[in-house]
Amino acid sequence: MKTTGRIASGLCFSILTLLGFQVQAQDVSHELTYNGQIGQIINENCVVCHQEGGIGPMQFQTYDQVRPWAPLISFKVANKEMPPYAYDEGIGIQHLIGDWRLEAEEIDQIVAWVEQGAPLGDPDSSPPPYQLKDPNEWNFAAELGQPDLIVPSNSYDIPASGNDLWSTEVVDPGIVADRCIKAVQVKPRGDAAAVVHHANSSVLLEDEEGEMERYGMLTEYAMGKWGEMVPDGVCRTLPAGAKIQWSIHMFPGGVGATAQGEMIEDNVVEIGLWFHDDEYAEDDNNYKQDLALYRIEAQGDLVIPPNGYQMTQGFHSFDHPIRLDSFQPHGHLRMNAASLEIFYPETGRTEAISQISNWSATWHHSHIYGSRSCTINSSWSGTGIEAVVRQHSR
């Protein structure tokens, strides 16, 4: 995987202040081999999940493991279903931090390699090995070290079948001073990754009467989410004296290719937090970043006809300047597309910011904007953001 705001549908979205595609294999004048270019592409982009103990349903650590799956790999890569990062190309912001998408040349090489018979190549040569990480390790540990703070949930037994389970609890993480968050990851235990649908967390503070009131959101987790890196020059604050309230949704038996359909005992979900140093929080030049939910539309039950679609559209305007730093659709099994636009009331013009046309409930990504974040200026009276969600009854 290359290491290179946030909208949640459900039918609400969150703001951080501030289909198939056909691919033609390239013409190649030389033979592509696993021990040449192809193994390196697979090691850099696939093995992170497709390793022993990983979340991928098969392993891709060696040629012998890859070869039987070569036609399926070509199909999934050509249709941009793998790596699992559904973000439309050519629409809106394209420079993303942590973008999993393959380059067009890499896709062409894999397709051409399979069409040539997926050869091994020189048996005395081999691609650079992937530095395997423990599937239970924190995703940002290689770059940032271990988290500065880990906030665990209570322990739960999740049965192999039955109705959805929900848990709400409050944890005191022992924060004694305001801290700026550098990165955050929510991590179910490895064998529970397919049964924890989402695990959201809110920040609570004590008011003047000694009652706990909601300060804002800490983070959101849903299946497949890697984590969040807060952009440079931005402070998402975890305030002194804060308590963390969990909202965990568990699905007995699990969802997706890695669902084991077995009872999970003593599962604990953890939040890992990496902080900036104390001086960072005192820098007045940093943007303040809040994560808050805005309901995009009053809604009741949605009725979707068999094999039909339903579109849901919502709008929110701001009376102060904001900067959008990322976009993350959140939905359940029926959602399959989402988009984000800016609406300019003076002209009626809309500007596409992000779009996902082939969304999957098993992969929730926070698409973090790179050098081109999106600023909405308060001088544009009534200017706001518009979210569109499409759901499909299969």
Q: pTM for this one?
A: 0.71
The pLDDT of residue 7 is 33
Mean pLDDT is highest, among 74-83, 150-159, 161-170, 224-233, for 74-83
pLDDT tens digits for range 365-390: 888 887 656 666 645 455 666 666 66
The pLDDT of residue 273 is 96
Report whether 325 contacts 352 (CB < 8 A).
Answer: no
Cα–Cα dist 31/279, whole Å: 55
The pLDDT of residue 133 is 72
| Surface-to-core class of residue 189, CB atoms within 10 Å of its CB (0-12 exposed, 13-18 middle, 19+ buried) | middle
Domains of the chain: 19-115 (no CATH), 141-287 (2.60.120.230), 291-392 (2.60.120.230)
pLDDT tens digits for range 220-277: 888 778 888 888 888 889 999 999 999 988 888 766 555 567 787 888 899 999 999 9
Q: Which tops the pLDDT comparison, 241 or 15? A: 241
Report whether 23 contacts 345 (CB < 8 A).
Answer: no
pLDDT tens digits for range 74-115: 999 999 889 988 888 888 888 887 788 899 999 999 999 999
The percent of residues above 70 in pLDDT, for the chain, comes to 81
